[in-house]
Chains A and B, each alone.
Chain A
Amino acid sequence: MTLWGPIWLTLQLAGLTMVLLLALATPIAWWLANTRARIKPAIEALTALPLVLPPTVLGFYLLILMSPESPVGAFWVTLTGEALTFSFSGLVFASIFYSLPFAVQPLQTAFQSIGRGMMEAAATLGASRWDAFRSVALPLARRGVLTAAVLSFAHTVGEFGVVLMVGGNIPGRTRVISIEIYSAVETLDYRTAHVLSGGLLVFSFVVLTLVYVMNRRGVRAGV
C-alpha cells in the first residue's frame, strides 16, 4: 500500500486547519489580549482545555456534538447532505478545537506585548481601529502569527486520539499518518511504521527548531 495517501491527507488536513484556525483564533486572541471582562479567565480556560484534556474525552464529546442526532450534526447534514462524523470535514472541525490553544496562545501573547500604547498612537494619527490593527498590531505580532501557524499545523499533523474517535480509520478519508502508523504496528508492518514515525520525528524536530530560531531572531531584532 502506498504511503502517499495518508501523507497527502494529513497535509490537506493540517493546511486547512491552520488557515481556518488562524482566522478563528486571531479575533479570540485579540479580544483576550485587550478585554477587562470578568468572563476572560473562563474563556481563557475554555480555549486551553485541549492542552489538558485526554484526546479521548475531547473526541468523545466532539463525536456526540457532531452526530446527526445533535443540532450541530443535523445542521451539517442539512447543509451538505453528509454526516460530520467519520468524514474529512469532521476531522477539520475536530482539529480546529484540538489545536485551538496552539494558535490562540502565541497570538494572545504577541498582542499583549504590543500593548494599548501603539494602538493609541495610531488612533491619534488618524487610523481607525481596523486600520490600526492591520497596519500596526498585525505587523508587530508577526512572530506570534508565524508561531501560531507553524504550531497549529504541526500539532494537527501529530494528532491521534481525537482523529481516531471522530474519524475512525477510513483509507482516503480519515486515515492520516498517525492512524496509519497505529494500523501498521497492529498488523506488524514495522517497516511502514518506521518510515512514517521517523518522518514525523524529523518533521516535528525541524518545525520546533524553526519556531525557536524565529523567536531568537525576533528577540534580537527587538520586535
Chain B
Amino acid sequence: MSDQLEFDISLRFAGFELEAAAEVPLNGITALSGPSGSGKTTLLRAIAGLEPQAQGHVRFAGEDWNGLAPEARGVGYVFQDARLFPHLDVAGNLDYGARRRGTPRGLVDAVIDALDLGPLLHRAPATLSGGETRRVALGRALASGPRILLMDEPLTGLDRARKSRLMPYIARAVAGFGVPALYVTHSAVEIGFLADRTLSIAEGKLQGWSGAGPRLLGQVTDAVPGQVCLAIGRRAVWLQGHGEVGEIWALPLGQDYLAASEPPGLCNAALTIEALVMQAEHGTGTCDLDVEGQQISIGWHREDGVLPEPGARLWLSLPRLLARPIQVNREAYESNLT
C-alpha cells in the first residue's frame, strides 16, 4: 500500500488552466505555496472532490478517488472563510462531522482539549472572534476523524501575533492526531513554522519541491502546563507550548534569526546557539552547519559574496522561540543526530 497522495489533475476555467501532478507523502505538513491566483485553492478543492469538472486522477494511499463523492473521501477540509454552520453552536458544529463519520467520543473530546475549545462549546459561531472561529473550524474538521487535513489558508486575515498563537494549535493537531495535512498558504511565516516540505505552484503549474526551512530538532525532557523543556544536543530550552515528555519537536529558525561570526555577548535574543561551518557553497550562498550535532543549511547572503570558511564558528541568535511537535520516526530523528 502506498503511503502517498498521488494526483494528476487538469482543470480549465475561462482564462485559467490548472495542470498539476505530484506524489505527496502522507505524513507531517506539506505546504502548497504560490502567489494569489496560482491555482492553490483550486487544486485543494479538486483533491477534496469539490471541482466536478476536474479531469485526471486522485489516488489516496493506493485507493482510487476518481468519481468518489466528497463525503466519501474522508477528508477534513478547513476553508479559508471557516464556513461554520450558523444555526448550530460550537458543540453542534464539532458533532456534525463526528456523528456522520462515527468518530469515537474520545477523539472529539481530545480535539476539544487540544484546541482549548471547552469554553466555546455553547457559543454561537457569530459571537466568536476571528482566532476562535479558525480554531473551531480546525476542530470541526479534526473531529470528523479525517484521513487527511486539507487546509486552505486557515490563518489568512489574522495579524502576526494571532497567527503565532494559532500556529502551534495546527502543529499540535497534525502531530498529535497523526493526520497528514496539505496546507495552502503564501505566508513565509506559516511555511517557516509549519511546513515539513513545500510544493510550489505558479500560474496553474507545479514548480517543484523544497524541504523544511532550517530548523533544529529536540526532544521534550520535561513539561509543565503551558511550557515544555526541549533538549537540543547539550542545550536545554524552556519554551511555550503543550507537550509530553518524549515528543520530538522542531524549532524553526524562522525569518528573523541573526548569524554572527563572533559571540554576540549580552543581547536580547531568546536563544543564541553556537554552530560549526561544515561547508559553504559560493554558487548558492548556502552554508551547511553543525549545530549541537544536527546538520542544517542556511542562506548566507552578503553583498560582498564573502562566505565563512569551513571549520569557522558562527553564533545563531533567534529573536523568539516558537517550536512545534512534529510527526517523526524516532529512528530517523536519532540518525539525524551525529
Contacts and interface: CB of A to CB of B under 8 A. Distances in A.
Interface of A: 117-118, 120-128, 131, 135-136, 139-140, 222-223
Interface of B: 48-50, 69-71, 74-77, 79, 81, 83, 85-87, 96-97, 100-101, 126, 140-141, 144, 150
A140 B87 contact: yes
Contacts of A139: 87
A188 to B, nearest CB: 55
Contacts of B69: 123, 128
B87 A125 contact: no
A117 B100 contact: no
A118 B100 contact: no
B79 A222 contact: no
Contact of A126 (B50, B100, B126): B100
17 contacts: A121-B79, A122-B96, A123-B49, A124-B50, A124-B75, A124-B77, A124-B141, A124-B150, A125-B97, A125-B100, A125-B101, A126-B71, A126-B100, A126-B101, A127-B96, A222-B86, A223-B87
B70 A121 contact: no
B85 A136 contact: yes
A122 B86 CA distance: 12
A139 B150 CA distance: 27
Given A126-B71, A136-B85, A222-B126, 14 more contacts: A117-B83, A122-B85, A123-B50, A123-B69, A124-B71, A124-B97, A124-B141, A125-B71, A126-B74, A126-B144, A127-B100, A131-B100, A139-B87, A222-B86
A141 to B, nearest CB: 10
B96 A125 contact: yes
Given A120-B70, A131-B100, A223-B86, A125 B81 contact: no
A124 B70 CA distance: 6
B144 A120 contact: no
A67 B150 CA distance: 59
Contacts of A135: 96
B86 A140 contact: yes
Contacts of A121: 77, 79, 83, 85
B50 A120 contact: yes
A117 B85 CA distance: 10
